[in-house]
Amino acid sequence: MPHNTFHASTIPTHSFRRRSYRAGVHLDHVVIAVSDFERSSAFYRDVLGADVVEIDGRVAYRIGGQQLNVHGPGVRPAMVARIPVAPGNSDLCFEWDGSIAGAVAHLEAHGVRIEAGPMTRGGAKGQGASVYFRDPDGTLLELISYAG
């Protein structure tokens, strides 16, 4: 079986299209962990266009309308997941607003090695073209383009 495919028996038969709660819920932020703030901040700023900001003495990366709160050396957050995020164990996808060829050229111009793609993948807006690469700690990153 090809990598990242599901057996039909593993997909629930329950319909998830209906939702009982109708308030607007949107993703505000997620947490990533890094081993070196300076190196990671430069990568996220230069490669993904992040605004590197300080919030209450902590670092965050703002990309589009989303925020990555950054845990790393010396940071002791008040609340963490049961198994705290660690450098290199996240998997994030960002929407690229141009063609996937433009994303590839952008990554290559910044010396970022493309690990896979371009390939067709499903995202929040349906099918798109994606490329995969990694941040300095090994976190898997994806750029998806819905541009025709």
User: For the chain, how long is the longest CA-to-CA vector?
Assistant: 48
The CA-CA-CA angle for residues 119, 122, 123, to 5°, reads: 115
Q: Active site includes 142?
A: yes
DSSP β-ladder status, 66-71 and 29-33? parallel
**In terms of Cα–Cα distance, which of 70, 65, 39 is closest to 53?**
70
- Alpha-carbon distance of 106 to 35, in angstroms, equals 25
Residues contacting residue 90 through CB under 8 Å, at least 6 positions apart: 30, 32, 33, 139, 140
Which residues on neighbouring strands pair with residue 120, listed in sequence order? 129
Residue numbers annotated as active site: 142
